[in-house]
Amino acid sequence: MPCRATNRMRGNRRRISLRVRARRAAGRKINMPRSAREARDMPEYLQKTVTSTRIRLARNLRGYFFPHMLSPYKAEEIVAAVRAALKKLDTFKEYDIGKISRDEAELLVEKHLISPALAGKKTGAAFVYCDENALREDEISVMVNEEDHLREQYIVKGYDLYKAYDRLSGVDDALSAELPFAFDGKLGYLTACPSNLGTGLRASVMMFLPGLSKDGVIREILPNLKKNGLTVRGFFGEGSSAEGYSYQVSNERTLGVSESDVLAHMEEVALSLTELEFRHRERMKKEGGVRLKDKCLRSYGTLLNCAVLPWEEFSRLIDDVRLGVALDYFETKDIVAFINFLYNMRPLSFRRGNRVTGGEENCNIKRAEIVGKVLPDLVKRTC
């Protein structure tokens, strides 16, 4: 459900934002090609490949250098300006990055709510989220003074590009009514990195692609994706490697295209990759035969019947279970609940969420206990 701040922001859409004025001046349509309702009606198999969807908007304030050139005093001025702009929205809460603990910062990185670059800043940086139940990943958040003055983002589990964009555009409209965003009539929104000029929009889907990974096809299609204006990164985004067959696919072009162009292109790419992935899954299943099936089932059995479960072992075994779900050895009635389960097992999230005290061994014992209880309700054997 939308938070109260999001509902309030929708009322602000009567004010014509900079991006809407710019599109009208250019004579471009501002309607989205598909409604959020239609987006939710995508084929079920798309939800089996897309783990999460993220929309990010890069914005900067007029009259200030970009963050890497800011003095500490000016950086704090920007934090104060953003804080004042969000004061009316009482569900927004703030972290002063320089005042939180290292574990707290690492937890935010683990949850993909802030970047490692922001976590490393000591002064003049903040993280703001819209959530009455703090630190859920499916809510709006804003990084202040990362690469740009503002990095607004919305992450939702599974596939829903249009829902994510619709929610975040409400926040952006509300902020643009209070803050002087740096905007050029020809270039669009001005950003620290030229690759973000224009809409400042990055649309990303985190995809689970074991079929393309196992067959080595993912390496072969990367150049073609690059030619089509796309970037493929690892689980934690820029600079990271693929983890458990997971890849973040996002648009690279933001200049000379509209928001609707970006979303439509990303949806087309997600569908194309999913269709290709399913063909290779069928091939993998046929060639792997009973040995592949046995590997997936053994991993599932180990997860249900162990007493100590380190994160590294859980990660390896659950990848086999996810592969088993993809190959229909298992079924899950609620894929989003299963994805949430995977995220909540990550080291810092698990320790915080389950209030585990003591050393790593205590976490490993508790993880085995919880996985043994929860996994059978989420994933059931079908063969």
Q: Tens digits of per-residue pLDDT, 108-146?
A: 888 778 888 888 787 888 878 775 444 454 578 899 999
* CA angle (54 as vertex; 52, 57 as ends), nearest 5: 175
CA-CA-CA-CA dihedral for 369, 372, 375, 376, to nearest 10 = -150
Mean pLDDT of 27-36: 37
Question: pLDDT-based confidence at 285, cuts 50/70/90?
Answer: very high
Asked whether the predicted pLDDT for residue 51 surpasses 80, the reply is yes
Task: Tell the residue number behind the tokens 């927004």, with chain if given.
Answer: 92
pLDDT of residue 38: 46
Token duo for residue 101:
């603990």
Residues 247/209, Cβ–Cβ less than 8 Å:
yes
Residue bearing the bigger pLDDT, 232 or 4 = 232
pLDDT of residue 380: 95
Ranges 32-46, 103-117, 175-189, 265-279: which has the least confidence:
32-46
Asked whether the predicted pLDDT for residue 272 surpasses 90, the reply is yes
Residue bearing the bigger pLDDT, 7 or 14 = 7
Report the distance separating Cα 9 and Cα 3, nearest Å.
Answer: 10
- In the chain, the amino acid numbered 93 is K
Residue bearing the bigger pLDDT, 264 or 2 = 264
Helices 360-378 and 311-326 cross at an angle (nearest 10°) of 10
Report the distance separating Cα 159 and Cα 208, nearest Å.
Answer: 12
Question: pLDDT-based confidence at 371, cuts 50/70/90?
Answer: very high
3-state DSSP call for residue 93? strand
Asked whether the predicted pLDDT for residue 184 surpasses 50, the reply is yes
- Whole-model pTM? 0.80
3-state DSSP call for residue 343? helix
Report the distance separating Cα 131 and Cα 113, nearest Å.
Answer: 12
Asked whether the predicted pLDDT for residue 25 surpasses 50, the reply is no
Report H helices in 228-334. 259-305, 311-326
Contacts of 238 (CB under 8 A, 6+ apart): none
